[in-house]
Amino acid sequence: MKILVVDDAQTVRGYHRQLLEQAGFEVDEAANGLEAVEKVFQKPKDYLALLVDINMPQMDGYTLVREVRSNPETQAMIMIMISTESEIHDREMAYKAGANGYLVKPVKGDLLARQLKLVTGRTEEANHG
């Protein structure tokens, strides 16, 4: 199962891919929320979790999280929002939309891996990466 990294910045997707692969995760990418929804709804069982940027063209992160939560087949999917927005209001909006976690960019690799392992229950890998 893969982690889907959803961000409109190719450099950010590449950075997160590198961090996650070093931590032992398989990674897929989407450039915006619309592309992510299509991938998730086509093959929901392929994805362990989504890392979601907030500010993206075509469909923002909040809308993406709400869309995934509204579908019975994907409503339990783990989603962590990652954004440059660091205000408490932004964090509250992410959780209200249905996010399982919230991290502020730039995210350090160990923090990202730890957060994902915690929410996905992959603690058997906590000593690697």
Kindly give the confidence (pLDDT) of every residue in the chain, 129 residues in length, as a single tens digit, with 9 standing for 90 and above: 899 999 999 999 999 999 999 888 999 999 999 999 999 999 999 999 999 999 999 999 999 999 999 999 999 999 999 999 888 999 999 999 999 999 999 888 788 888 888 877 776 544 443
Closest CA to 82 of 1, 3, 2: 3
Which structural domains are found in the chain, ordered by start? 2-125 (3.40.50.2300)
Quick one: pLDDT at residue 129? 39
The pLDDT score that the predictor gives to residue 123 is 60
Sheet of strand 101-104, all strands in order from the earlier edge strand to the far edge = 26-30, 2-6, 47-52, 78-83, 101-104
In the chain the beta strands, taken as DSSP E runs, fall at 2-6, 26-30, 47-52, 78-83, 101-104
Assess contact for 19 and 112: CB atoms under 8 A. Answer: yes
pLDDT at 126: 40
Distance, CA of 98 to CA of 63 (rounded, Å):
10
Using CA atoms, how far apart are residues 28 and 50, in angstroms rounded to an integer?
A: 9
